[in-house]
């Protein structure tokens, strides 16, 4: 029982009676009443405020009613308590009942209505006030600012008869919140007497819109004017430095902190520590951390986070174990650290061990699951959060958007907005990303409108998200409008614009934007290089890369991967090897992203160094395994693909749709029918992966190549999904190999209806007719193509010598060495015939004499490219050529014989796969 000393007044007895009556609710509270009545009244007023803050409004009102003596503060506390908890009607009723209203009472009601979004009602109360003081005026101005009505706030500010520094700061804060820094700066310059808040608001305002240089300039101006920075200003200045990414400025601010005796301030110290880690200087961060005279939980967690983000997980764990008393914050930091490296189970175990997780802990677990693609688990945690904040919603919205569930992301944003909340910058950015993913332009416009109402449209992240969203939705006028309205354009803004133009095939605009950039980073160079690659100007892309290196910009994993992809498409092995050497020099050889690109590049170039890269990679993700499987398929290494697939399973890496596509293609190119059936069935039976059209096409190709044409046809007819033209084309290709004209005609008729503009299908049927001497039908196909406006893609072969590509067409005579090439080709032709080679004139698809057929075969593009390689490379050096279409059977046979008599290894990549010729045989085993 709570004891009370009731001696002096009836008030004490009433208070004692109240607490005795409600002793269960207050059994944990030792309420001692002092001797003086004014102290007793003060304690009751304080308790009303405390209960209101805890949301226990009924109890606060009971205490209020139990008080015999009340002063204006009592009434004001109770009215304010109602407003704090959204009990607007009760607050108004109590206000009307109170006979002793003072200026503070009226101001409390103005503030209460404004904070509850009732700005018009707040203005009515303001107008009814019998008297106003400067606090009343500031409250009304602040209310307009809080409710997004900056114009009304400024109008009232102008009417204010006498302004104090709070008035100026309130108005400036409003402008800063909406990114209107020009207006904010004008007002700032008009203040006669600024305080620390004035400076802090301006610095933070420029940081908010990403103009870190101006934020830093304001700090320097303040310092030069003799104003001593306080803790909040130091933190704002450090935010500016983080944006500038300037190590020297961090050191300068650290020196100033020491000079002004902030060295022992753990908050400032932790902010400096964060600045070093964000700059990527863990060496400085470690030294600073170890010398900190005092550390709080944020100091420890900042260092743990830094270690984990830079891949030093062992150091993060060791530091975590050093913490004298592990707090919720430090445990949460480790949850995030484990999640970031995919150790989500350990993250969950640690999370479950936190007795009373705060909202930050819950948010970390949501984000952790989302980062690891476990959206259902993330949502389950999200739904369990006792009290969500804006970051909780932002984490879940981002989780849906980043994992391809864009509709769910947008639904969640709408739900959050319906609750009356205003999404934060992160939520807007994720929502715009979701809109871009699904092309939801109208929803994107609504998000844009909402961001304007929330005053976030000038935030650089939101602005850049708007550019990307409109660009992906092909609304380039909107892209230009958003970019032109941005108050601060950071490098990301320019990069987003370049990427947008590139995505919309506006190469000239992309280059013009790149040339106008005030400052470029590695992403800028990567964006413009990618733009030229996508447009087919690979030579310009490499020239830009050289310019980038010459300008002192170090390439990153993304730019190098883009160039490696270009090397792969061009079969530019030598150039790819030079880039590989640069990768070693830059220390990026252990980067997974780069490693995967190297594997793909080498194997797409027919170079077996890709296997060496695979074996040397310290860590392999699913993309790594899929890259090597796809490479095996391209190069006809069916058995090797199966071995690698089984090895992947033993490493507890679950195959995905792409993994099965790789192994099925490999089986198809190697004629492994039983193995192909096994993996195709395993997809759904063992892993629950439903086959897509591409998987069915592989199976049709596998059966068709092996001669099981009608089994392949039945397989297509029984598909649970509608077969597309690619599936049927696989069967048509098999009909061509096995010269089955009846089935070929039947299949071609279907394909011509589904894909009437694809020239390859017409050529396949024409080839079937030609191989059987059905020249009349060949003519009909040619006429059909002409009538439909379908043109045959010309066959082109090319070879890279000394970093230069040399291309050839059939009977090409444009090369400077044409005479020598033709002469050597005729000489080789004679030598090959002596060793057993016979031209396969059945492959000439024209009704001409036999001699003409032989001449037509002799000057095919791949033969010209190979001979050019023999002429221009040292003896014994392997030759590699590429062709855009499938190589013909005669060229395949010719190259086999040629590899034997010249003792050269010849690698040929045609439109479907690689052929490695050596000592008279081919890696495909003549099965392609």
Of the ranges 15-24, 309-318, 421-430, 783-792, which one carries the lowest mean pLDDT score? 15-24
Per the structure block, which two tokens stand in for 337?
């650290």
Q: Is the pLDDT of residue 6 over 50?
A: no
**Beta partners for residue 113, in sequence order:** none
Helix %, strand %, coil % for the chain, to 5?
70, 5, 30
Q: Residue 589 has what pLDDT?
A: 84
Most confident of 109-113, 252-256, 650-654: 109-113
| CA 817 remoteness from chain centre | 49
Contact 558, 586 (CB under 8 A): no
Q: How far apart are CA 645 and CA 849, in angstroms?
A: 50
What average pLDDT score do residues 308-327 get?
A: 84
Which residue in this structure is represented by tokens 């964060």?
A: 274
- Dihedral angle, C-alpha 381, 384, 390, 396, nearest 10 °: 30
Give the strand pairing for 879-883 and 906-909: parallel
- Dihedral angle, C-alpha 7, 9, 14, 20, nearest 10 °: -10
Q: How far apart are CA 820 and CA 870, in angstroms?
A: 11
The pLDDT confidence band at residue 186, using thresholds 50, 70 and 90, is very high
Q: How far apart are CA 384 and CA 411, in angstroms?
A: 18
Handedness of CA 506, 512, 518, 521 (dihedral sign): positive
Which pLDDT tens digit goes with each residue over 548-564? Answer: 888 888 888 888 888 89
Which residue in this structure is represented by tokens 């004035």?
A: 198
Per the structure block, which two tokens stand in for 346?
């350990």
Q: How far apart are CA 187 and CA 191, in angstroms?
A: 7
Q: Could you tell me which residues come within 8 angstroms of residue 733 by beta carbon, excluding any fewer than 6 positions away?
A: 701, 704, 764
Q: What is the share, in percent, of the chain residues with pLDDT greater than 70?
A: 93
Most confident of 272-286, 379-393, 759-773, 790-804: 379-393
Q: Could you tell me which residues come within 8 angstroms of residue 780 by beta carbon, excluding any fewer than 6 positions away?
A: none
Q: How far apart are CA 749 and CA 725, in angstroms?
A: 11
Handedness of CA 354, 359, 360, 362 (dihedral sign): positive
H or E segment to which residue 172 belongs = helix 165-177
Q: How far apart are CA 908 and CA 922, in angstroms?
A: 10
**Beta partners for residue 918, in sequence order:** 921
Contact 176, 184 (CB under 8 A): yes
> Among 464, 488, 466, 499, which Cα is nearest to 243's?
488
Which residue in this structure is represented by tokens 């007719």?
A: 769
Q: Crossing angle of helices 165-177/181-190, nearest 10°?
A: 170
Which pLDDT tens digit goes with each residue over 44-86? Answer: 889 999 998 888 889 989 999 888 888 999 999 999 999 988 8
The pLDDT confidence band at residue 14, using thresholds 50, 70 and 90, is very low
Which residue in this structure is represented by tokens 């639904």?
A: 411
> Among 70, 116, 68, 64, which Cα is nearest to 92's?
116
Count Cβ atoms within 10 A of the Cβ of residue 532 and give its class: 0-12 exposed, 13-18 middle, 19 or more buried.
buried
At 804 the three-state DSSP class reads strand
Contact 881, 869 (CB under 8 A): yes
Q: Residue 96 has what pLDDT?
A: 92
Q: Residue 135 has what pLDDT?
A: 92
Contact 709, 731 (CB under 8 A): yes
Q: Is the pLDDT of residue 152 over 70?
A: yes
Q: Residue 533 has what pLDDT?
A: 86
At 797 the three-state DSSP class reads strand
Q: How far apart are CA 823 and CA 831, in angstroms?
A: 13
Of the ranges 199-208, 455-464, 531-540, which one carries the lowest mean pLDDT score? 455-464
What average pLDDT score do residues 325-345 get?
A: 86
Q: How far apart are CA 435 and CA 214, in angstroms?
A: 33
Q: Residue 841 has what pLDDT?
A: 66
Top-confidence residue, 33 or 531:
531
Count Cβ atoms within 10 A of the Cβ of residue 199 and give its class: 0-12 exposed, 13-18 middle, 19 or more buried.
buried
**Homologous superfamily of 692-793:** Tetratricopeptide repeat domain (1.25.40.10)
Q: Residue 140 has what pLDDT?
A: 93
> Among 139, 155, 71, which Cα is nearest to 106's?
139
Handedness of CA 696, 698, 700, 702 (dihedral sign): negative
**Beta partners for residue 806, in sequence order:** 799
Which pLDDT tens digit goes with each residue over 426-461? Answer: 899 999 999 998 989 999 999 898 888 777 777 778
Which residue in this structure is represented by tokens 């992947």?
A: 648
> In the chain, what is the straight-line distance between the N-terminal and C-terminal CA atoms, in Å?
93
Q: Could you tell me which residues come within 8 angstroms of residue 372 by beta carbon, excluding any fewer than 6 positions away?
A: 339, 342, 344
Contact 452, 201 (CB under 8 A): no
Q: Residue 614 has what pLDDT?
A: 93
Per the structure block, which two tokens stand in for 637?
């290494």
Which pLDDT tens digit goes with each residue over 366-425? Answer: 999 998 889 999 999 999 998 888 899 999 999 999 998 999 999 999 998 888 887 888
Top-confidence residue, 149 or 626:
626
Q: Residue 38 has what pLDDT?
A: 55
Q: How far apart are CA 22 and CA 562, in angstroms?
A: 72
Residues of the chain with CATH 1.25.40.10: 692-793
Q: What class, spelled out in words, does domain 389-488 have in CATH?
A: mainly alpha
Count Cβ atoms within 10 A of the Cβ of residue 794 and give its class: 0-12 exposed, 13-18 middle, 19 or more buried.
exposed
Q: Residue 362 has what pLDDT?
A: 93
Beta strands in 580-731 (DSSP E): none
Q: How far apart are CA 669 and CA 70, in angstroms?
A: 92
Q: How far apart, in Å, are the Cα atoms of 144 and each of 200, 418, 450?
A: 21, 22, 18
Top-confidence residue, 844 or 511:
511
Sheet with 804-809: strands ordered across: 804-809, 796-801, 879-883, 906-909, 914-918, 921-922
Which pLDDT tens digit goes with each residue over 846-885? Answer: 544 545 556 667 889 999 999 999 999 998 888 989 888 8
Which pLDDT tens digit goes with each residue over 345-369? Answer: 999 999 999 888 899 999 999 999 9
Q: How far apart are CA 326 and CA 413, in angstroms?
A: 35
Count Cβ atoms within 10 A of the Cβ of residue 38 and give its class: 0-12 exposed, 13-18 middle, 19 or more buried.
exposed
pTM higher than 0.75: no
Q: Residue 22 has what pLDDT?
A: 42
């Amino acid at each position: 029982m709570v004891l009370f000393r009731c001696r002096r007044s009836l008030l004490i007895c009433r208070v004692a009676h109240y607490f005795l009556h409600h002793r269960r609710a207050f059994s944990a509270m030792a309420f001692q009443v002092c001797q003086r009545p004014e102290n007793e009244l003060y304690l009751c007023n304080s308790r009303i405020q405390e209960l209101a803050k805890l949301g226990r409004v009924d109890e606060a009102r009971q205490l209020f009613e139990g008080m015999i003596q009340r002063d204006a503060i009592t009434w004001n506390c109770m009215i304010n308590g109602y407003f704090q908890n959204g009990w607007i009607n009760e607050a108004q009723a109590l206000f009307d009942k109170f006979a002793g209203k003072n200026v503070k009472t009226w101001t409390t009601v103005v503030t209460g209505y404004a904070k509850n979004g009732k700005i018009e009602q707040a203005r009515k109360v303001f107008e009814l006030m019998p008297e106003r003081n400067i606090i009343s005026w500031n409250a009304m101005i602040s209310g307009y600012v809080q409710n997004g009505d900056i114009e009304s706030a400024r109008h009232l500010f102008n009417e204010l008869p006498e302004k104090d520094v709070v008035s100026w700061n309130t108005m400036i804060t409003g402008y800063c919140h909406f990114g209107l820094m020009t207006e904010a700066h004008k007002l700032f310059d008009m203040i006669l007497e600024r305080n620390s808040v004035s400076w802090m608001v301006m610095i933070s305002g420029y940081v908010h819109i990403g103009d870190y240089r101006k934020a830093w300039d304001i700090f320097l101006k303040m310092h030069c004017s003799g104003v001593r920075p306080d803790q909040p200003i130091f933190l704002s200045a450090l935010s500016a430095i983080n944006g500038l990414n300037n190590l020297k400025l961090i050191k300068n601010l650290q020196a100033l902190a020491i000079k002004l005796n902030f060295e022992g301030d753990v908050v400032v110290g932790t902010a400096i520590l964060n600045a070093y880690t964000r700059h990527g200087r863990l060496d400085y961060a470690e030294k600073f951390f170890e010398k900190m005279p005092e550390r709080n939980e944020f100091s420890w967690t900042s260092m743990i986070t830094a270690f984990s983000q830079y891949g030093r997980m062992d150091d993060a764990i060791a530091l975590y174990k050093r913490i004298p008393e592990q707090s919720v914050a430090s445990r949460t930091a480790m949850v995030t650290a484990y999640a970031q490296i995919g150790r989500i189970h350990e993250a969950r175990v640690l999370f479950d061990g936190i007795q009373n997780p705060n909202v930050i802990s819950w948010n970390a677990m949501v984000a952790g699951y989302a980062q690891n693609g476990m959206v259902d688990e993330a949502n389950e945690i999200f739904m369990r959060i006792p009290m969500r904040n804006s970051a909780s919603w932002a984490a879940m919205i981002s989780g849906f958007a980043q994992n391809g569930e864009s509709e769910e992301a947008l639904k969640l944003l709408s739900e959050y907005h319906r609750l009356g909340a205003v999404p934060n910058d992160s939520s807007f950015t994720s929502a715009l990303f979701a809109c871009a993913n699904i092309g939801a332009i109208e929803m994107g416009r609504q998000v844009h409108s909402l961001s304007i109402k929330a005053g976030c449209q000038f935030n650089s992240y939101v602005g850049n998200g708007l550019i990307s969203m409109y660009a992906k939705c092909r609304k380039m006028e909107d892209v230009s409008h958003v970019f032109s309205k941005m108050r601060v354009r950071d490098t990301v803004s320019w990069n987003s614009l370049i990427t947008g133009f590139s995505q919309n095939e506006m190469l000239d605009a992309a280059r013009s934007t790149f040339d106008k950039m005030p400052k470029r980073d590695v992403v800028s160079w990567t964006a413009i290089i990618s733009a030229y690659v996508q447009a087919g100007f690979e030579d310009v892309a490499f020239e830009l890369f050289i310019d980038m290196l010459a300008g002192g910009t170090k390439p990153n994993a993304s730019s190098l991967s883009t160039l490696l992809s270009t090397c792969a498409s061009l079969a530019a092995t030598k150039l790819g090897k030079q880039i590989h050497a640069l990768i070693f020099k830059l220390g990026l050889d252990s980067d997974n992203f780069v490693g995967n690109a190297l594997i793909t590049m080498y194997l797409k170039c027919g170079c077996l160094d890709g296997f060496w890269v695979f074996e040397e990679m310290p860590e392999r993700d699913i993309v790594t395994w899929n890259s090597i499987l796809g490479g095996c398929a391209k190069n006809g290494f069916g058995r090797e693909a199966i071995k690698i697939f089984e090895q992947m399973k033993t490493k507890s890496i679950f195959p995905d749709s792409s993994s099965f596509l790789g192994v099925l293609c490999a089986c198809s190119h190697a004629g492994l029918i039983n193995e192909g059936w096994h993996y195709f069935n395993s997809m759904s039976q063992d892993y629950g992966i439903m086959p897509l059209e591409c998987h069915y096409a592989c199976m049709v190709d596998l059966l068709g190549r092996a001669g099981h044409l009608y089994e392949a046809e039945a397989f297509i007819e029984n598909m649970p999904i509608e077969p597309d033209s690619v599936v049927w084309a696989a069967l048509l290709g098999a009909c061509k190999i096995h010269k089955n004209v009846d089935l070929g005609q039947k299949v071609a008729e279907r394909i011509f209806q589904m894909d009437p503009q694809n020239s390859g299908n017409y050529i396949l049927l024409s080839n079937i007719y030609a191989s059987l001497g059905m020249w009349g039908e060949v003519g009909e196909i040619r006429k059909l193509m002409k009538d439909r406006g379908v043109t045959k893609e010309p066959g082109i072969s090319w070879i890279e010598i000394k970093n230069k590509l040399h291309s050839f067409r059939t009977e090409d005579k444009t090369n400077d060495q044409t005479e020598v090439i033709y002469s050597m080709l005729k000489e080789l032709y004679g030598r090959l015939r002596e060793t057993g080679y016979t031209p396969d004139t059945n492959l000439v698809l024209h009704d001409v004499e036999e001699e003409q057929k032989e001449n037509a075969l002799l000057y095919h593009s791949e033969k010209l490219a190979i001979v050019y390689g023999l002429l221009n490379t040292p003896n014994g050096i392997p030759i590699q050529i590429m062709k855009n279409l499938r190589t013909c059977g005669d060229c395949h046979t010719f190259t086999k014989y040629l590899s034997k008599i010249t003792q050269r290894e010849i690698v040929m990549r045609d439109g479907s796969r690689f052929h490695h010729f050596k000592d008279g045989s081919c890696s495909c085993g003549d099965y392609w």
